[in-house]
Amino acid sequence: MNFLSRAGHALVAALDSDHFTDPPEVIRQQPERISPARCLSFAVLHLGCLGVIWVGAGAWAVWTAVALYFIRMFFVTGIYHRYFSHKTYSTSRFVQFVMALLGTTCVQRGPLWWAYIHRHHHKHSDEPVDAHSPVQHGFWWAHIGWLTSNKNHPTDYTKIKDLARYPELRLLNRYDLIGSVLLLSVLAGWGAWLRSRGIDTSPMQMIVWGYFISTTFLFHGTACINSLAHVFGKRRYETKDDSRNSFILALITLGEGWHNNHHRCQSTVRQGFHWWEIDPTYYVLRALSWTGLIWGLKPVPRWVHDHAHADGPLAPPEEESTGAAVGLGSPERA
Nearer of residues 105 and 243 to Zn ion, judged by Cβ: 243
Residues 6+ apart with CB under 8 A from 103: 75, 76, 79, 80, 84, 110, 111, 114, 179
Using the contact rule CB under 5 A, the part of the chain among 20-28, 87-95, 133-141, 239-247 near Zn ion is 239-247
Instruction: Specify the residue, 72 or 81, whose C-beta has the smaller distance to Zn ion.
Output: 81
Smallest separation (angstroms) from Zn ion to the CB of 188: 34
Contact 71, 99 (CB under 8 A): no
For the beta carbon of residue 111, count every other beta carbon within 10 angstroms: 31
Measured from the CB of residue 89, what is the shortest distance to Zn ion in angstroms? 14
- Provide the minimum distance between the beta carbon of 225 and Zn ion in the complex, in angstroms, as a whole number: 7
| Residue sitting closest to Zn ion (CB) | 243
- Minimum Å gap between C-beta 274 and Zn ion is 19
- Of 18 and 162, the one with the shorter C-beta distance to Zn ion is 162
Nearer to Zn ion by C-beta: 78 or 210? Answer: 78
Stretch that binds Zn ion, among 98-106, 181-189, 241-249, 277-285 (CB under 5 A): 241-249
Give the DSSP H or E segment for 251.
Answer: helix 247-252
**Which is it for the CA torsion 89, 108, 110, 210, positive or negative?**
positive
- List the x/- string, 110-139, binding to Zn ion by CB under 5 A: ------------------------------
In angstroms, give the least distance from the CB of 109 to Zn ion.
16
Q: DSSP labels for 2-70?
A: -HHHHHHHHHHHHH-TT--SS-HHHHHTSPP-B-HHHHHHHHHHHHHGGGHHHH---HHHHHHHHHHHH
Q: Give the C-alpha separation, 134 to 131, whole Å.
A: 9
Q: How far is the CB of 7 from Zn ion (least distance, A)?
A: 36
- Window contacting Zn ion (CB under 5 A); options: 36-44, 138-146, 243-251, 311-319: 243-251
Q: Which is nearer to Zn ion, 62 or 135 (CB)?
A: 135
Shortest distance in whole angstroms from residue 268 CB to Zn ion: 11
**Backbone phi and psi for residue 34, each to the nearest 5 degrees, phi listed first:** -70, 130
Region binding Zn ion by CB under 5 A among candidate stretches 108-116, 136-144, 195-203, 237-245: 237-245
The count of residues interacting with Zn ion (CB under 5 A) is 1
Q: Which amino acid is at 297?
A: L
How many whole angstroms separate alpha carbon 259 and alpha carbon 242? 10
Amino acid at 291: T
Catalog residues that contact Zn ion under the rule CB under 5 A. Answer: 243
